[in-house]
Each structure stands twice: as C-alpha cells, then as structure tokens.
C-alpha cells in the first residue's frame, strides 16, 4: 500500500512541476510581461505545495492508521461474559485471521467477525487514504496556481521554504534529545512510583523477579541497583587498565617515533579494530578469552566462573584501544612543535621530551580522551551481555560473574514486555542513569578538550 | 683526576639516559604490536571457528519410491503429488538404512538425519516424477550432531552421557565413513535459508535481507536530513544561542550509548506511535537517529573543505546565497558527504543493542520481503547464535561474523574509493 502511494506522490509532484512551469509561461505571455523569477521557481513552488501536504497525510496515516483501526476493532469486540482476554494476543489473533483466511479454521465466531471487521476497516482506510492524498495534492496545487502571476517573487518564497526545511533538518537532533529525555523520564517516573528512588540508588539487593500472575507466591522483587553499578564500574576499570596504557603508548609511538610508512600502515589497521562491530568482540570474549580466563584462574587457584568481569573487561579494553590511541594521537600532534624543539635543544632526549614536556602539555587532552573512553565503556552493551553474565554480585573480584547497567536493560526487555510491571520499567530507570552519567562525562571531556585546544591556538 | 671521574659519570649517565630512551621507544612499539596482535588473533579465531560452517555433511540414503507406500500412481496430477506420503517413504528408508535394525536402533538412526530430509526426499521426487516405483540413492542432509562430529568440533572422548551421540550412533557414523556413504559438500543452506532451530538448516539469508532493508531505511532517512542539517549549520545558521545549542546537542548525541537509542525507539516509536515491532522500518529509524550525528559531522567537514572563493565567485555574479550554496558548494562536497554517510551506515550495520530493544531479536524463520515485515538483522542473528547452547550454532555465528565483516569491508572500500576518486584537493 505505502509503496504505491509513494508512486502516486511521485507522479503528483512531477505533473505539478510541469503544470507550474507551463502555467507561468502562459500567464506571463498573456500579460505580456516577463515573470520576476525563472519559470522553474514557479514550478518548484507548485511542487512544494503539492508535496508537503501529501507527505503530512502520508506520515500521519502510516503512524496512526493501524492504531486507530485496532482501537475500533477492540472496542467493538463482542466479549463473552466471564472470559478473560489478553488484548495483545487477541489483536494478534484477529490480525492473523484477517491476513490469512486459512487460519480461520477452529477459531471462535467472534474472532472471525472481528477479523472481517478489521479487514473491512483496512479497506476503508486504504480508499480514504488514496482519495485524501489526491485531494490534498490537488488542493495544494490549486492554492499555489493562484499565485502564479508574473509579478510574484517565486524565488524569494522558495528560498524561504528551503530555509525552513533546513532548519527542520537541523532540529531533528534536538527532537531526538527531547525524545530520549522525555521517554526515559516518563517511564522512570512510572518505575519510581512503585519502587522508591532511595531503594533503587542505595540498596544492595537486586532481585527483580516479581509475581507474574496474580496469586502467585513469589518473593517480592527488590530493586537495589548498587551491585549493578559496582559491576559496571569493575568492568570499566578492567577495560581501562588494558586500554589506557596500550592506547596511550601506541599513540606516543605513532606520533613521536614511527616513520611515515609505519603510520600509514598501522593507522588503517587500528581503524579496522575500531570498526569491528561490538557483537564480534562479544563472540571473541565468549569463545576465546573467557575460557582462557577460567583456565588461568584455576591454574592460580581461583575459582573463576565461565563468564567474568575480567574476560568482558579485557575485550572491552581492546575495543577501546583505537579510540584512545586516535584521540591521544591528535592531542599529542597538536602540542606545538616549538615545545618539542626547545626541549631537544637543551639536550633532552626523545623519551625525556615526551615524558617531561609533551605529556604534561597534552595532559588535559589525554584526560579528556580517557573520559570519553570511560563513557564508551560504560555504555557498551554487547560484549558484557555475552561475556559478563547476569548475576548481580556485589564483588571486587574480577574473576566472578558480574552484571552491568546495559546487561540489565537488555535482560529486562527481552521476552515479555508488558509495560505495567516494575521489572520492565526498571530498564528505563537504568537507561536514565546511564544517559545522565555518559552525558556528564561527555560534557566534561569536551570542555577539557576545548580549553586545551584554545590554549595552543 | 676529578675531571675523569666527572667524565665517567657523564658517560654512564648518558648511557643510562639513552637506554631509558630505547626502553621507552620499545614500550611504545610493544604496545602497538600487542594491539595489532589482538586484531590478528581475533580474525584468526573467527576464521578458524567459522570456516567449517561453509560445509555441510550429507549422507547417502536409499529411498524406495514405492507407489503403494506413497499412495500415488504414475499419472497422478501435480497437486496429488504434493500430498504424497513422503514421510512413509522416509520411514522405510531409515528402517532399511542398515541391515537388521531393531526398533530402538531405528530411533537412534533417525537422529542421524536432519529434520529437512522429508522435504529433500519430496523435492527430489517432484523434480523427477519418473522415479516412481524405483529405488534411488539420494544424498540427504545429516543431523547437526553428525556434522559437528565429523568436522571435529565435538569430541568423542567425553563420557557418553555428556555427548549428543551415544556409542551405538558413533559406531553407525564410523560405519558410514568406512562405506563412503557420507561426505562434506558446500553448505548452500547457509546462504539461502533464514534462521532455524536446527543448526544444519539455519542460514543468514533472512538476517542479511533484514540488514539490507534496515540499512536502506537508515540511508533514506539520514542522508537527506544530515545534508540539510549540515548545510544549514555550515552556511546559513546565524551565530546565536540556538545554533550553539544545536551544535552542542549534536556532539553530545554522538556519545550517547546506542542502547539508549534503543530505549528511545521502544518508548516513542513503538509505544507512542505504534509502529510495527521487529521491523526494519523501526530498526532503521532508530539507527538513523543514532548515526545522524556521525554523518552530520562528516558532512560539515566536507562542506568546510570547499574553498570559500567558489561561493564568493557565485555570489559575485549575482547568485543568491541559496543558489550559491546549492548550485556550487553542495555538489562539490557531495563525494565527501557520501563517504561520511557510508561510514555511518557501516557503523549502523554492526549495531546490535538498539535492534534488540525494538524486538528484532524475535525468532524469524523466513526471509523478509519488505520494510514493515518482522525480520532479523545480521548482528542480532550472531548474538542469538552465540547465546545458543547448541554446538552447531557456534560455527554458524563465526561464519555469520565473516559475512558481516566482508560486508563492512566492502562498504569501507567503496567509501575509500569514492574519497580517492572524487575528492579534490584545493
């Protein structure tokens, strides 16, 4: 359906363009004056008046059609007294029957009725969709064609419209942020209505299993996120222990020692390392590193679990190496050459210059890079989901199973997704914490890097 | 006297210092080599675990297409043939697979074959209807457990109760190998089938198509919006607080963890707008929002690289600002923006977490054909296979990683090609 409507819109805008062009030529000939802008601008003017209303109709249909139909079908559904219905399952069943008549065998009569209701509504919706698109395009063209007079400044108007479009494009980023903030806060508020914020932030018991069915006697869930934060922190520390020295030393070597040829080979290789999808690192951690860590732990007498903070952290560190090395490389390169030359000029050798002059000078930038890397490590999901485990242990032992904020978000949202229980909603509260922390780290890091840049410019 | 001591001191100090220098350089070199070694080791792991997935094990099975068993006649119509009792033929074939099988043995033999064997027997018959009432030797797919055993991925020397195949089954497999009734061929299923619960017939075709549809959505949404945004910010935006806010916003969005974008998709696109779950449309929209900052930053850089003299020239001959920008600056920056977009798409291709959030993790056993159909995506498929307990899926996940890496490599190669071919240095 939506494909053909796109074709329809394409035909509409094409003919409106042709129409606008010929119409303005005709009009200006009739009046014997030259039009104020080139004919193409008038054509574009008609086109825009055709296209944008049509697009608005198109998207509102695409977004709201299904929901409205479903609401009508559900509200007209003939419920049988006493039977309990799950709305989602019911809808799925009705849709299945409607899309696939062969599924109707053995279904109850009210479902078959609802399915035929559903398909008839869909048909009505389709017909009205096409007619409203055609009508709105005609109306747009009609409105625009009234303006096609030679003394109308089409170009100015078009340029104004283009400005609006561009402003809309750049505000998408703002809308995204607003969307993120509002959805996180909204769902988190629903979570905190059931679980106190102090319990969430300061209690050490994470046991998010709540009775699913009524009357089920399961333990009350408890949502103390401290073990999760601790696990995240532990994995992050392990990752930084791997990535910080390796990344920084690589950057120093590449920036100060390596020949042009080595740089040319190594930098793209590091970029490959940066471009590998995180799930691939997760696989690597799961298949190679975790068994190795387990064997290593056993050989030194520590009982390591098959998934551990150490395995996940080490692989995550590898993932961050290129991130740190390329950022630090930039930072080191932007230390003014005069500092280097001055140091070498008074007799310091290269290592001394780097350690005593360049690194102190570049320190703010490097700190900024590390902060960005930490924010990456905290927000990283797939490696920890595969290799760190899901047990909320409050421990400092990297050989043990730990869990992180991102893992718990994934675990809470896989499978059953009813939005009325705190288990699902806890994902949004954790997401909010994650968002705030990474945003905070990021703003600080960008501030530091910016100040650092300004110092040497 | 004093002089020579001082000299000695200086010499030893210099030696120490230059040693220090050497050592420091060596540290850097080691760090770099270590990072690269990990890369090599990673690629080696994936290749060594994954290359076996490109082969499957097939077994020679003698099938008797007896018309009575099939309940067909030589002149049955095509429709009747579809309904032939092929499962009975298969049962018979398995019963006669080895001479003198007891009932419990038959059960064990049956587990050596893939679930797909019924379909293969049927397809063979439908392709050659003239084989009715004859005995045919057909190569059919073996069960994943046999496949893994013969590839050496599962071990024989573990105790029987921890093995998928028991001792009798092992002896059967050995007998098959001895009689040359089993061989390994190219695994076409891996490239033509979607996900399955059975490793031997699971493939990446479904998730590959899903990823393509997702990337298509990302491109359609993010490319125009990114160009619009970057043109505005670079060329038109007045220097005021709002512009600054947008810029800060974009650079901060670039660092928001991808999983948070998944929560945005779940909370807004699915719950508020009611878009269909698990579809490339929603997945693509979320990934488009996520890659937008990356692409905008790249686009702005390439717009900045166009020398101002070009715009000024256009302005000087009377073009308006809009004309100067859209007729002269944007076309020159286009290769750069395309390169940036492709790199953004490559990032989107590997992204897993947001897709899990919006439900693309559902088990989808068929190949999607449109943007609004539930589908899997390559990285999520890999995740599902990694998490799966079944041994046969491990090589599949490594092989799927190879597919995704090749795909990524090609995208990057295109980006580099575009950059080298079209980007001008002024």
Q: Does residue B37 share a domain with residue B93?
A: no
The predicted model scores a pTM of 0.89
Same domain, B30 and B101: no
Average pLDDT over residues A225-229: 91
- pLDDT over 70 (residue A405): yes
Between these two residues, A215 and A331, which has the higher pLDDT value? A331
Residue in chain B closest to A374 (alpha carbons) equals B255
Please compute the mean of the pLDDT values over residues B197-206 and round it to a whole number: 90
Q: Which among A316-320, A452-456, B181-185 has the top mean pLDDT?
A: A316-320
**A–B: how many Cβ contacts below 8 A?**
260
Mean pLDDT along residues B337-356 = 91
pLDDT grade for A211, boundaries at 50, 70 and 90: low
Nearest one of A407, A330, A405 to A372, comparing CA atoms: A330
Residue with tokens 């809308």: A175
- Over range B196-219, report the average pLDDT: 92
Q: Token digits for B86?
A: 């092929």
Q: In this structure, is residue B168 part of a structural domain?
A: yes
Q: Pseudo-torsion of CA B52, B58, B59, B61, nearest 10°?
A: 170
Chain B contact for A431 (CB, 8 A cutoff): yes
At A373 the pLDDT is: 94
Asked if residue B409 and residue B301 are part of one domain, the reply reads yes
Q: Are residues B223 and B317 in the same domain?
A: yes
- Is B381 in contact with B207 (CB distance < 8 Å)? yes
Query: Does residue B198 belong to any structural domain of this protein?
Result: no
Q: Is B13 on the interface with A (CB under 8 A)?
A: no
Do B60 and B17 share a structural domain? no
Nearest to B254, CA basis, from B333, B338, B343:
B343
Which of A55-64, A216-225, A303-312 has the lowest average pLDDT? A216-225
Q: What is the pLDDT of residue A449?
A: 84
Closest chain B residue to the Cα of A283, Cα to Cα: B386
CATH classification at residue B261: 1.10.3720.10
Mean pLDDT estimate for chain B: 89
pLDDT range class, residue A418, cuts 50, 70, 90: low
Which DSSP letter does residue A103 get?
A: G
Q: How many domains does chain B have?
A: 3
Last residue of one domain, picked from the residues B144, B159, B193? B193
B283 Cβ contact list (under 8 Å, min separation 6): B214, B217, B265, B354, B355, B358, B360, B377
Does one domain contain both B320 and B236?
Answer: yes
Predicted confidence at residue A112, as pLDDT, reads 81
pLDDT at A214 over 60: no
Bridge pairing between strands B55-64 and A206-207: unpaired
Q: Which domain holds residue B148?
A: 54-193
Which residues 24-53 of B have a C-beta within 8 angstroms of A?
24-25, 27-32, 34-36, 38-39, 41-42, 45-46, 49
- For range B10-22, the mean pLDDT: 90
The residue from B158, B193, B228 where one domain ends is: B193
ipTM of the complex: 0.91
Asked whether residue B255 is domain-assigned, the answer is: yes
* Residue at B250 is within a domain: yes
Question: Could you tell me if A311 and A289 are in contact, meaning their C-beta atoms sit under 8 angstroms apart?
Answer: yes
* B232 and B99 in a common domain: no
Match 């790249």 to its residue by tokens: B298
Residue after which a domain boundary falls, among B146, B173, B193:
B193
Instruction: Please determine, for residue A219, whether its predicted confidence score (pLDDT) is greater than 70.
Output: no
pLDDT at position A218: 47
Closest CA in chain B for residue A389: B387
Residues 156-185 (A) with a CB less than 8 A from some CB of B: 159, 162-163, 165-174, 176-177, 179-180, 183-184
Q: Are residues B94 and B168 in the same domain?
A: yes
> Do B15 and B47 lie in a common domain?
yes
pLDDT for A210 beyond 70? no
Assign A217 a pLDDT band (cuts: 50, 70, 90): very low
Report the percentage of chain B scoring pLDDT > 70.
100
Q: Which domains does chain A have, with CATH numbers?
A: 2-151 (no CATH), 225-455 (1.10.3720.10)
In a domain? residue B199: no
Mean pLDDT, residues B33-41: 93
User: Of B231, B249, B382, which has the smallest distance from its Cβ to A174's Cβ?
Assistant: B249
Question: Same domain for B345 and B405?
Answer: yes
Is there a contact between A318 and B38 if contact means CB atoms under 8 Å apart?
Answer: yes
Q: B421: pLDDT confidence band, cut at 50, 70 and 90? A: confident
Tell me: do B249 and B378 sit in the same domain.
Answer: yes
Q: Is residue B401 part of a domain?
A: yes
pLDDT at A40: 87
A287/B372: higher pLDDT: A287
Q: Which is nearest to A444 in space by CA: A334, A368, A365?
A: A368
> Distance (Å) from the C-alpha of residue B114 to the closest C-alpha of chain A?
26
Indicate the pLDDT class of residue A193, thresholds 50, 70 and 90. Answer: confident
Q: Is A115 exposed, middle or buried (0-12, 13-18, 19+ CB in 10 A)?
A: buried
Top pLDDT among B272 and B117 is at: B117
A329 touches chain B (CB under 8 A): no
User: Do residues B215 and B344 both lie within one domain?
Assistant: yes
Residue B229 parent element (H or E): helix B205-231
State residue B163's pLDDT score. 81
CA distance B124 to chain A (A): 28
Which stretch of DSSP H or E encloses residue A62?
Answer: helix A39-75
Look at residue B90 and tell me whether its pLDDT is greater than 90: no
* B344-360: average pLDDT: 91
Indicate if the pLDDT at residue B383 is higher than 60.
Answer: yes
pLDDT given at position A177 = 93
- Give residue-wise pLDDT tens across range B107-165: 888 888 888 888 888 888 888 888 888 888 889 999 988 888 888 888 888 888 778 88
Q: What are the tens digits of pLDDT across the range A39-61? A: 888 888 999 999 999 989 988 88
| Mean pLDDT of the residues in chain A | 86
Does the CB of A438 have a partner CB in chain B at under 8 Å? yes
Of A418-432, B214-228, B372-386, B400-414, give the lowest mean pLDDT range. A418-432
pLDDT band at A271, cuts 50/70/90? confident
pLDDT (tens digit, 9 = 90+) per residue, A62-97?
A: 777 777 888 888 888 777 666 666 666 777 777 777
Average pLDDT over residues B325-340: 91
Dihedral, CA of residue A386, residue A391, residue A393 and residue A398, to nearest 10: -30
DSSP B57: E
pLDDT score of A152 more than 50: yes
8 Å CB contact of A176 and B253: yes
**Given an 8 Å threshold on Cβ–Cβ distance, is B27 in contact with A249?**
yes
């Amino acid at each position: 359906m939506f494909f053909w409507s796109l074709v329809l819109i394409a035909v509409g805008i094409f003919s409106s363009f042709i129409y606008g062009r010929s119409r303005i030529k005709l009009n200006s000939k009739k009046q014997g004056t030259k039009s104020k802008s080139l004919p193409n601008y008038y054509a574009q003017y008609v086109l825009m008046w055709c296209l944008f209303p049509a697009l608005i109709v198109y998207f509102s249909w695409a977004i709201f059609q299904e929901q409205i139909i479903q609401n009508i079908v559900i509200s007209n559904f003939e419920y049988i007294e006493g039977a309990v219905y799950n709305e989602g399952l019911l809808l799925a069943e009705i849709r299945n029957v409607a899309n696939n008549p062969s599924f109707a065998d053995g279904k109850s009569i009210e479902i078959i009725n609802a399915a035929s209701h559903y398909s008839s509504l869909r048909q009505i919706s389709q017909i009205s969709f096409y007619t409203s698109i055609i009508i709105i395009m005609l109306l747009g063209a009609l409105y625009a064609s009234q303006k096609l007079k030679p003394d109308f400044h089409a170009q100015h108007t078009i340029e104004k419209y283009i400005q609006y479009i561009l402003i809309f494009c750049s505000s998408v980023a703002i809308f995204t942020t607003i969307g993120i903030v509002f959805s996180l806060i909204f769902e988190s508020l629903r979570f905190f209505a059931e679980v106190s914020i102090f319990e969430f932030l300061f209690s050490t018991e994470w046991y998010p299993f709540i009775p699913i069915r009524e009357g089920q006697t399961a333990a009350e869930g408890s949502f103390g996120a401290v073990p999760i934060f601790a696990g995240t922190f532990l994995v992050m520390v392990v990752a930084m222990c791997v990535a910080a020295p390796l990344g920084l030393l690589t950057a120093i070597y590449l920036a100060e020692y390596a020949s042009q040829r080595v740089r040319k080979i190594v930098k793209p290789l590091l970029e490959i390392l940066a471009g590998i999808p995180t799930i691939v690192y997760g696989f690597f951690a799961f298949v190679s590193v975790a068994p190795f860590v387990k064997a290593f732990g056993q050989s030194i007498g520590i009982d390591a679990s098959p998934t551990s903070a150490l395995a996940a952290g080490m692989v995550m560190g590898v993932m961050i190496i290129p991130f740190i090395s390329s950022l630090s490389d930039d930072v080191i390169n932007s230390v003014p050459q005069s500092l280097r030359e001055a140091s070498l000029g008074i007799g310091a050798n290269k290592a001394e210059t780097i350690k005593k002059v360049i690194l102190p000078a570049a320190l703010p930038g490097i700190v900024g890079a590390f902060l960005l890397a930490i924010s990456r490590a905290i927000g990283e999901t797939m490696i920890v989901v595969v290799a760190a485990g899901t047990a909320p242990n409050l421990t400092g032992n990297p050989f043990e199973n730990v869990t992180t904020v991102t893992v718990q978000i994934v675990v809470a949202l896989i499978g059953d997704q009813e939005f009325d229980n705190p288990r699902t909603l806890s994902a949004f509260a954790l997401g909010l914490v994650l968002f705030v922390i990474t945003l905070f780290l990021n703003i600080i890091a960008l501030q530091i890097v910016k100040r650092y840049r300004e110092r040497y410019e | 006297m004093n002089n020579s001591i001082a000299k000695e001191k200086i010499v030893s100090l210099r030696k120490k210092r230059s040693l220090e220098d050497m050592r420091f350089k060596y540290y850097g070199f080691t760090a770099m080599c270590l990072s690269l070694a990990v890369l090599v080791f990673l690629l080696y792991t994936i290749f060594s675990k994954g290359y076996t997935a490109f082969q499957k094990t097939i077994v020679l099975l003698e099938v008797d297409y007896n018309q009575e068993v099939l309940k067909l006649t030589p002149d049955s119509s095509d429709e009747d043939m579809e309904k032939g009792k092929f499962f009975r033929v298969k049962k018979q074939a398995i019963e006669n697979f080895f001479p003198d099988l007891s009932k419990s043995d038959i059960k064990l033999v049956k587990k050596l074959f893939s679930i797909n064997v019924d379909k293969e027997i049927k397809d063979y018959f439908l392709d050659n209807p003239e084989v009715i009432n004859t005995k045919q030797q057909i190569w059919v797919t073996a069960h994943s457990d046999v496949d893994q055993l013969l590839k050496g991925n599962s071990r024989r020397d573990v105790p029987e109760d921890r093995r998928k195949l028991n001792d009798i089954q092992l002896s059967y497999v050995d007998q098959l190998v001895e009689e040359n009734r089993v061989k390994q061929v190219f695994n076409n299923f891996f490239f033509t089938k979607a996900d399955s619960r059975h490793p031997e017939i699971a493939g990446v075709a479904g998730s590959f198509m899903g990823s393509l549809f997702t990337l298509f959505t990302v491109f359609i949404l993010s490319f125009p919006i990114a160009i619009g945004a970057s043109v505005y910010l670079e060329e038109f935006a007045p220097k005021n607080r709002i512009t600054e806010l947008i810029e800060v916003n974009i650079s901060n969005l670039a660092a928001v963890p991808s999983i948070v974008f998944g929560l945005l998709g779940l909370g807004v696109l699915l719950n508020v707008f009611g878009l269909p779950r698990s579809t490339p449309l929603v997945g693509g929209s979320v990934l488009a929002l996520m890659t937008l900052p990356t692409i905008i930053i790249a686009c702005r850089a390439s717009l900045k690289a166009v020398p101002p003299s070009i715009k000024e020239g256009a302005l000087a001959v009377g073009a308006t600002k809009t004309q100067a920008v859209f007729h002269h600056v944007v076309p020159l920056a286009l290769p750069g923006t395309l390169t940036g977009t492709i790199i953004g798409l490559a990032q989107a291709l590997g992204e897993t977490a947001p897709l899990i959030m919006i439900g693309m993790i559902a088990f989808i056993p068929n190949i999607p054909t449109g943007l609004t159909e539930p589908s899997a995506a390559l990285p999520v498929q890999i995740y599902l296979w990694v998490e799966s307990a079944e041994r046969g899926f491990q090589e599949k996940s490594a092989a799927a990683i190879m597919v995704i890496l090749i795909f990524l490599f090609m995208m990057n190669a295109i980006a580099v090609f575009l950059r080298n071919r079209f980007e001008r240095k002024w």
